[in-house]
Structure 1
Amino acid sequence: MKHTSLAIIASALLAFGSMSIASANEAHAAPTEYSVHVHIIKVDSNSGKVAVLSDANLSTLSGKAVPFKMLQDTAYVASVTATIDAKGKNIGESIVPGHAEAGLKMSVTPITMPNGAVKVEYAYDLSSLVAMKSITVKGKTIQLPTIDYANGNGAGIVGVGSPLTFKAGDKVVTITISKA
């Protein structure tokens, strides 16, 4: 039994030692720098019109995520506050604004594969402001935004310079990776 335990420990130490050597060798290799091209369009299904929403170039290293945002901030009246004096008289009102953020947030991570191809991992959060409802209480009007949310993630293996295309809600996203 002691002999078997020593054999297991010895093989584990050998495996750990070889992993440490491999990890040390990989750590000395310079990571590949990539240019990440993100192209986003929206197609109106009724008219067939295509709108280019974004055409961005970003830089990152292999294995490092690069964030991308395309957001619109809409201000609205979140609340109305009244100032009352000691006699109970309204002596002033102030508006407290709110902000509804809608659009696309995504993260793209290119990873160099041993065969030279690139694994592209992506994750996105998509939101859209679908309505701004006004509500009046005791003569004071506030607004309530309605926001739809969707998110997703995925990955694909592409050659350098080859596009990866996916749909995010009503948007079509194309990611092209090239060496910087």
Structure 2
Amino acid sequence: MRSLALVGVLLASPALATGIEIELGGGVTGTVAIELFEDVAPNHVERIAALAESGAYDDVVFHRVIDGFMAQTGDVQFGKMGGDMARAGYGGSDLPDLEQEFSDRPFERGVVGMARSGNSVDSANSQFFIMFQPAPHLNGDYTVVGEVTSGMEAIDQIPVTGQGDTVVMQDVTVIE
């Protein structure tokens, strides 16, 4: 009887998001679709989906862009367009930090990883980054949460930090 009740609860629980769609604005326009890997990083996927669903990611800038490496965004505390950009990248959400969910998935072009604070592996919160090129030195040290499935050409157009117009995630929606 207990087993049946547990199965009923599992079947009734909501499914995690399968992805997010990001509408870019500012210096670059386009739509980026990201498949989220709930089987690899369920807690991180749940966090990204919750923040997207609540609108927290809307109007957040790509605050750190390194040529040939990655574009980072997701600072829902200090990274909103029109805010004090000097603090962008130093914040997160009001939710607690997440423990790492490392996997054997490599950091290849288009892979999405969770950013963290300094060297603390259990400090991922809301920020994430998208790889321009493979970065094997990140493998096993950062949590892979997904992969760009379309729109990578728009990500490629984001200018290096301080060398162009600010690019913003105008609207982030959950794909189920």
If the TM-score is normalised by the length of the shorter chain, which range does it land in? under 0.3
Which has more helix, going by share of residues? 2
Which has more strand, going by share of residues? 1
Q: TM-score, normalised by structure 2?
A: 0.28
Q: Which has the larger Rg?
A: 1
